[in-house]
Amino acid sequence: MFRTITALAGVSFMAFAPMSVIAEPVNVADFALAPRIAEKVASGEPLNIMVSYHDVSNEFAPFVRQGVERADAELNANARFIGPVGADADGQISEIETLMAEIDGLAISAVSTDALSPLIDRVIDAGIPVISYNTDNPDSKRLVFAGQDLVQSGRDAGEQMVNVLDGKGRVMITTIDAAAQWSLDREGGAREVLEASEGIEVVRTLNTGTDPQEIYSAIENAMLADPEITGILSLECCSTPAAGEWVKRNGQSGTIKVVGFDLLDQTVDLVIAKAVQVTIDQAPSRQGFEAVSLLVQFLNGETIDDLDTGVGIFTSENIDSAM
């Protein structure tokens, strides 16, 4: 038996800050806003809010975009969803540079925190408010962060794994990009919890690559190399269904436990089929909406603060609510 947590929107997890600096609440009164934006706010014209996402061709992009589009319709803002095709820091930087003169507020989810920080600082220095969402840039001058803390979500996944394994087993961690900051953060959180549990051994972190066929093959090879593995913890959207699919096809549903992330169609099917025990939703649509909303609030004089967009934890018992 394991407990089902549904972290509801708005419930805050502010008790941690392992790798990031917590932002102070900020108000526009303390911000050197560019005069052209101030005029625009005063006249009540709709504000140009750009939401830059680190890869508009990945599977979350459509959900984030939906959130941005909803904000565009509901709030007094021209919200636009932008970003490079394929994770490409240079592409993301040059697009923002090109658009800078028309941006009244920027929300950014960065390809690479190091590469984007100087740009964020430049945009801030130009008097344009910048917040980060989805992926944080704690070392930059960005105002606040809206999203899910990566280390914490890794811990959540780790806890779910400990639960479904009843505290003992051999766990393999899978990720499509072992070297990426988001992956390292989430892996750190997951390992922290897993390694604290005495009966659990983390055998390896498997780097699967990004092509779906490649991901499946990598998992297949790794499972064959170590038949003793009893749990697969996937750190992201895309190796989750591959792990579930492998378990299902090899008749191991329920024997080898899978904990992963996100609500891709295929993942939902696999949760229903009980090949994936738990999947953690990052509410990407909400992240997109809140990013715009925070900037609009800020420009209209309200004080804003970091916002945890929360996670939803889904098992076969509550998966219906995700469909």
- Contacting positions for another protein (CB under 8 A): 55-59, 61-62, 65, 85-86, 178-179, 204, 206-207, 210-213, 216-218, 220-222, 224-225, 238, 241-242, 245, 249, 264-266, 269
Output 138 or 212, the one with its CB closest to another protein.
212
Output 56 or 278, the one with its CB closest to another protein.
56
Smallest gap from Cβ 34 to another protein, in A, equals 32
Long-range contacts of 263-269 (CB under 8 A, 24+ apart): 263/314, 263/322, 264/59, 264/237, 264/238, 264/240, 266/241, 267/237, 267/240, 267/241, 268/319, 268/322, 268/323
Output 23 or 222, the one with its CB closest to another protein.
222
Smallest gap from Cβ 144 to another protein, in A, equals 27
Contact present, 257 and 232 (Cβ < 8 Å): yes
Distance, in Å, from the CA atom of 127 to the CA atom of 32, rounded to the nearest integer, reads: 5
Distance, in Å, from the CA atom of 265 to the CA atom of 127, rounded to the nearest integer, reads: 42
Output 62 or 167, the one with its CB closest to another protein.
62
Q: How many helices and strands, by DSSP H and E, does the chain display?
A: 10, 12
Smallest gap from Cβ 132 to another protein, in A, equals 22
Smallest gap from Cβ 90 to another protein, in A, equals 16
3-state secondary structure of 130: strand
Output 221 or 318, the one with its CB closest to another protein.
221
Smallest gap from Cβ 70 to another protein, in A, equals 16
The first and second tokens of residue 102, run together, are 């028309």
